[in-house]
Each structure stands twice: as structure tokens, then as C-alpha cells.
Amino acid sequence: MKFDVYGVGNAITDIQARISDELLEKIGFTKGVMTLVDSDKQGHVLASLEGHPVNRCAGGSASNTIAGIADFGGTAAYAGKLADDEIGRFWLSDMQALGVTVDTPLGTGVSGTSVILITEDAQRTMLTHLGISATLGPEDLSEEQIAASQYVYVEGYLFTGESTRAAAYRAIELAKKHQVKVAFTVSDPFLIHLFRDEFLKLIAGPVDLLFCNLEEARSLTGKTEPVDCAQQLHHLAADVALTLGGDGSLILRDNQVIPIEATPVRPIDTTGAGDMYAAGILYGLTNGLSYRQAGHLASQAAGRVVSQLGARLSRKFTPQEVARFASL
């Protein structure tokens, strides 16, 4: 089977809940940031949500993007690490129901979870327990599937662990060996403070397509204006997709700046906006769309996902919608 994209990242089940600022303050975490927590703390947070309606789906940054590609009708495979527990089996069945190929065997331990607390201002506070996903390693990758893909997509979160970092580098190495393009998402501004030089080396080297938001771009470049940030990154990477929230996005290709307008929506939950944007771009580029067309599709996808709860589209795009948005 041929794949549009082979994703490599954490396999985490997202558990979303809408809460008040008062409850968030009581739980004791800073609004709007991602915090790694241990199993006991995650259990405490989940207990605090008793009585609140929750939604769950297979998650993880790269996983959300791969799911989005499958939602568009693309073909995708994924490498992540799961335990043989209820959460792991749920994650696996959820992704396979979308048609995503996941061959990583279930292991011993606890599967990863990410509790996403959404306040009334649509800010998301993420509390992540990586569980067994932190043990993803090079041996969990499929060279055959990578060789059969158009892109390998790697998330920046993998660089927080020794074995997951090794998996990321191995995926990139195999992609280059088989003339497969490499797409990389910075994932989160806090990672840049830890790995800025390493990320810049990757962006200037094997990365073909870079995804980042404005805050991440500013941290990477030291620049302030979006176009200045994008152009400096474009000196390093062949293609750059820079998201600007409500101001749309910029795509840089062949020394040209392609501005993409935002889709006007009333935001409910920003979880997965960047992931779904990346899905639109990657699906478009692997299915015959131009960069501008892919950008329009990505903008529509990001707009739709922030207007609902959760990182997975509750109302999928029809083939007719994909064609219409791509023609804008």
C-alpha cells in the first residue's frame, strides 16, 4: 500500500473537558500551557473532573494530523507506542476506524493520556502523562511503510526523551534514504527553549517542510514581524507554513510568500488547530493541490476544528467541500 504520510509521534488519548477558571485555579496549573505530569497527578486531575462531561479520542500532535489526513480521504500510517490496556486499545481502534495503518504491537505498561481543560475563553490547558508512549524507539518504525510514503511527519515533542528522539532521527534518516520528504512541526514554544539549536540544525538540514506558529517562529528567529520570521526560516527550509491564528497563515515556497486568509469562526476550543492545519497542507500537497490551494483547505480545516470541542472533526469534509475549498 502507498501512503500519503507516515506519522511519528506520541500515541496519547485526549480527554477534553470544559471547566471554569475557578476549577482550573483549584487544580493548580497555569492556563494555556502544556505540563507533563506523573500518573498520580493525572489521576488527581481526572478525579477533579468527576461530574463534568468529557470527550475522548485518539490524540497526540502528529496523531491528530494523521487522523485529519485520513478524514480528508488520504492514506496514512503511524508509529506510536501503546500499552495493552483499555486506553491503548481505545486509541488503536479509534485510529484504525479511520483507515490509518498502525502496526506497533501493544506493550506492557500504561498508555499515555492528555487531559485538556478548556475554559470559557477557549484557552486550553494540557496535562500530559506520556506513559508507555515515552518509550517509542527506532525499532518501532517500519522502513517499508516509510519507503512507501510521500512524506514523513515528525512532531517536536519527541525530542523530550532519549528513545523518542532516536526514533525521530531514525525516521528522518529512513526518509532520506528512500527519497521521502520530511515535514517537521515544532509542536510547542517551550520546546524551543530546550532545543533551539538542535531544531535549527534540523530545519536547515533534512527538513523539507516546516510547520510552526508565530510564537514559535519568533523564538526560533529572534524576529518579531511574521513576514520577517517566515523569510528567515525560509532561508533554512525549502517550504515553511507559518500559522498566525486569527490573521491566517503564510506559506513560503520558492522564495515567494503566499498569504492565506483565516476562516472566520467563533472559537470554542483551540485544541488541534495547528494539527488540523498541517493535515490540510499535507493532504493537499500529496493529492495534487498547489501550495495556495492546500493553504485554503488547511485554513478551512483549522477554522472548523476550533469551532467545536476536541481535536477531531465532528463534521468531516465531504469530497465536494474539499474540492470547493481547494479551488478558492
User: CATH number, domain at 211?
Assistant: 3.40.1190.20
In a domain, 54, yes or no: no
Looking at residue 246, what is its pLDDT? 86
State the pLDDT at residue 53: 85
pLDDT at 35: 86
Is 19 inside a domain boundary?
no
Q: Does the residue 43 lie in any domain?
A: no
| pLDDT at position 323 | 81
Tally the domains of the chain. Answer: 1
Q: Whole-angstrom Cα distance, residue 195 to residue 229?
A: 18
**Taking Cα atoms as reference points, which of 258, 261, 229 lies closest to residue 248?**
261
CB 210 within 8 A of CB 239: yes
**What pLDDT sits at residue 99?**
95
Print the domain residue range for 259: 3-10+60-109+131-326
Strand, coil or helix: 148: coil
Whether 209 is in a domain gets the answer yes
Rounded CA-CA distance 299/286 in Å is 17
C-alpha torsion angle, residues 306, 102, 241, 295 (rounded to 10): -60
**Helix/strand/coil for 57:** strand
Tell me if 77 is assigned to some domain: yes
CA distances from 81 to 6, 22, 91, 290 (A): 15, 35, 10, 34
Q: What is the pTM of this model?
A: 0.89
Q: Which element (helix H / strand E) includes 225?
A: none
243 in Cβ contact with 213 (< 8 Å): yes
39 occurs within a structural domain? no
Q: How far is CA 123 from the centre of its chain?
A: 17
Taking only the tens place, the pLDDT of each residue in 157-184 is 999 999 999 999 999 999 999 999 999 9
Per this entry, what is the length of the chain?
Answer: 328
Strands (E), 156-300: 181-185, 209-213, 239-243, 249-253, 256-260
Identify whether 202 is part of a domain. Answer: yes
Question: Is 141 a domain residue?
Answer: yes
Helix/strand/coil for 206: coil
Residue 270, pLDDT score? 67
Residues of the chain with pLDDT under 70: 1, 269-271, 309-311, 328
The string of pLDDT tens digits covering residues 187-242 is 888 899 999 999 999 999 999 999 999 999 999 999 999 999 999 999 999 999 99
Q: How many CA atoms lie within 13 A of 318 on its CB side?
A: 3
pLDDT of residue 113: 92
Q: What nine digits make up the cell of 3?
A: 501512503
